[in-house]
């Protein structure tokens, strides 16, 4: 079965420190990979995506993600965390199969950045 795993329910990091939120996937082929962020009482917002090309993808608010094909991972990173980065982060995958429109989401990782 196709799946996306976010192994950490919560990640705590001190403001100014680098952060990593982990994501691995089990989806055949070379799927499209995404990160979304959800602030309290809001819908999800797009952060970044990997379609093809450079394994390091840059996105909104200083976030970036590293694609590793051999490990089927797509970890979200930021060099210096801000308190305002505290939110719920979702990894998502969309298979490249023609006619497939279904996204598979991970269960989410809550990021807390401590002042």
Partner 1 sequence: NAGVTQTPKFQVLKTGQSMTLQCAQDMNHNSMYWYRQDPGMGLRLIYYSASEGTTDKGEVPNGYNVSRLNKREFSLRLESAAPSQTSVYFCASSAGEAWNEKLFFGSGTQLSVL
Q: Which residues bind partner 1 (CB under 8 A)?
A: 9, 32, 34, 36, 41-46, 49, 51, 90, 92, 94, 96, 99, 101-103, 105-108
User: Which CB, 3 or 80, lies closer to partner 1?
Assistant: 3
Cβ–Cβ < 8 Å for 34, 91:
yes
User: Which CB, 31 or 86, lies closer to partner 1?
Assistant: 31
DSSP letter for each residue of 4-32: EE---SEEEEETTS-EEE--EEE-SS--E
Q: How far is the CB of 35 from partner 1 (least distance, A)?
A: 10
Cβ–Cβ < 8 Å for 96, 81:
no
User: Which CB, 39 or 114, lies closer to partner 1?
Assistant: 39
- Identify the residue whose tokens are 């917002």: 45
């Amino acid at each position: 079965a196709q799946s996306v795993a976010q192994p950490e329910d919560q990640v705590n990091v001190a403001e100014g420190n680098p952060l990593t939120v982990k994501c691995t996937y089990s989806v055949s082929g070379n799927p499209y990979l995404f990160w979304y962020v959800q602030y309290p009482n809001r819908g999800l917002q797009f952060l970044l995506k990997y379609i093809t090309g450079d394994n390091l993808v840059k996105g909104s608010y200083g976030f970036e993600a590293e694609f590793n094909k051999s490990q089927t991972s797509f970890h979200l990173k930021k060099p210096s965390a801000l308190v305002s980065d505290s939110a719920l982060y979702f990894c998502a995958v969309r298979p490249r199969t023609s006619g497939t429109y279904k996204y598979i989401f991970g269960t989410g990782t809550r990021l807390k950045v401590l002042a």
